[in-house]
Chain A
Amino acid sequence: MTTKTIANLSVEVTDEGYLKDVSAWNKEIAIAIAKEEGIELTDKHFEVIEFIRNKVAAGEGLTIRGIGKSGVVDAKTFYQLFPGAPLKKATKIAGVSKPVSCI
């Protein structure tokens, strides 16, 4: 675990750059992390981020399928918003922990 300065704030992050504390998150941090991932955040991104944060707050699991069927975005748009590895990037930007793939 390391401490990192993001958007002028000192926050604790995991080795992979995920915030340790969900409550340390704010919009500026999201914009800064997104920039590192090469993503410029739009209102649509923030809708998805809000959905993810609410899901996590409710203690529910996150899947690409679940987000794709949420009514917020479909799977294809989710990929366009967070190219490459959408769930990994979106959770990192949303300041929640990395989803575990359990197999």
Chain B
Amino acid sequence: MDELLAILNDLYPDVDFATYDARVDGPLIQSMEMVELITAIEEKFDVEFPPSLMGDPEHFHSAAAIWELIQRLEDE
């Protein structure tokens, strides 16, 4: 989780991802940052996002949600 937070804070240094939730605080990730985020996660965790998951804001609204998704991908 700390590694994910490091990636997120690298992209958004001024956002507190311990509490941030897009469903409450409004959308944050813009299109090009999504590319950076996914590339960084794939490198760090050695996972590959199936394109089908990139259409679902449900998996990207908070650090916890992204973390859950990474763990699911790692198990596969």
Q: A and B, one complex? A: no
Residues on A lying within 8 angstroms of B by beta carbon are: none
